[in-house]
Amino acid sequence: MIRSRLAAAKRIGFVGLGSMGSGMAANLVAKLAAGKPEGQALLFDRSGVAVQRVVAEAAAVAEAAVDLPQLAAKCDIVFLCLPEGGVVLDAVRTMSPTLREGALVVDSSTTSPAVAQKAAQQLGQRGVGFLDAPVTGAPARAAAGTLTSMVGGSEKHLEAARPFLGTFATKILHMGEVGNGQLAKALNNCLYNVSCAAMAEMLPFALRAGLPMPAFVDAVTSGTGQSFGFNQWASLVLQREFEAPKHGFPMGAAFKDLETLVAAASAEGLPVPPVVAATLATYQRALAMGLGEEHKGAMVKVWEAQLGVCCSGTEAEQKK
């Protein structure tokens, strides 16, 4: 029943039009308006302004939902893009009574394997399918429709969702059972965290050793030492620009990825990998310094304080 119903899915719900979801929903609606794939969209967010902005671009195929129960009752597939796991589970509980048997919920939020498994269990009791399909690529790629999606769940549910996932993700990777999408996303983000922590160590060390900051940053970002974390944050560090969410996701809210890795290691009876353990230590020190509301580049302040330097692009600031 699930397969036959989803094969002809025409009404697609999208919940959560924040920094990532707004671009994803806009691309979904734009592709539906072009008939690739065919369908209608029903959107919901606590910010009515965000919803109306997307609806205004393609009113023929998109409308705003009054609330989550209404959206759930009308849709065959519902995408979620919400801030954290608790909000996802609240949304699932709210939608469950009105979701129709054979519907599918696709969670593109970044949560944890445990949250994904709990959501799948709750929905499964009502005959509703579930995929955890977190995305990576940051808001710019969400707006461009070029995200990567890591998907956990059954092949048949993925094939039903694929045409709609493909409206905002150019790479869709099946990671196995429910929860594995979230695990893959967490490990990806931990590799990113490692590169951020490495940048945070290396810039103060280079300055203390006498290297000029702008030239050193230029050398690394154009050389073999470059990484996503270094390239993302080093120039902002020199400008002393640490504001989030203006420049990036707040460090405190992003710590959940390392927690997921620690939990996964514990479940497998393994130690936390040593490079990640060092990253975890730097990250925790940054949070203890009260930097949780700043972006990950602010980890540099841990090592600036330890080495007694300031990694600014100007010599006067470096001597403060």
Q: What is the pTM of this model?
A: 0.90
Is the model's pLDDT at 83 over the cut of 60?
Answer: yes
Superfamily (CATH H level) for 2-178: NAD(P)-binding Rossmann-like Domain (3.40.50.720)
Mean pLDDT of the chain: 94
Is the model's pLDDT at 227 over the cut of 90?
Answer: yes
Looking at residues 79-96, what average pLDDT do you find?
97
Residue type, 108: S
Is the model's pLDDT at 1 over the cut of 50?
Answer: no
Is the model's pLDDT at 2 over the cut of 80?
Answer: no
Torsion sign (Cα): 120, 122, 123, 127: positive
Looking at residues 192-210, what average pLDDT do you find?
98
Is the model's pLDDT at 95 over the cut of 80?
Answer: yes
pLDDT value at residue 316: 45
Looking at per-residue pLDDT, the higher value among 12 and 319 belongs to 12
Active-site residue among 31, 185, 296, 301? 185
Residue extents of the structural domains in the chain: 2-178, 184-318
Percent of the chain's residues with pLDDT above 90: 92
Distance in angstroms (rounded) separating the CA atoms of residues 101 and 95: 12
Instruction: Name the pLDDT band for 245 (thresholds 50, 70, 90).
Output: confident
Question: What region, left, alpha or beta, does residue 100 occupy, with left being phi > 0 and alpha being psi -120 to 50 degrees?
Answer: beta
pLDDT value at residue 318: 62
pLDDT value at residue 5: 44
pLDDT value at residue 145: 97
Domain 184-318 architecture: Orthogonal Bundle (1.10)
Please enumerate in sequence order all residues whose Cβ is within 8 A of that of 63, keeping only pairs 6 or more positions apart, or say none.
Answer: 40, 41, 42, 43, 55
Could you read off the pLDDT of 259-310 as tens digits, one per residue? 999 999 999 999 999 999 999 999 999 999 999 999 999 999 999 999 999 9
Distance in angstroms (rounded) separating the CA atoms of residues 16 and 65: 12
Q: Is 171 a catalytic residue?
A: no
Is the model's pLDDT at 9 over the cut of 60?
Answer: no
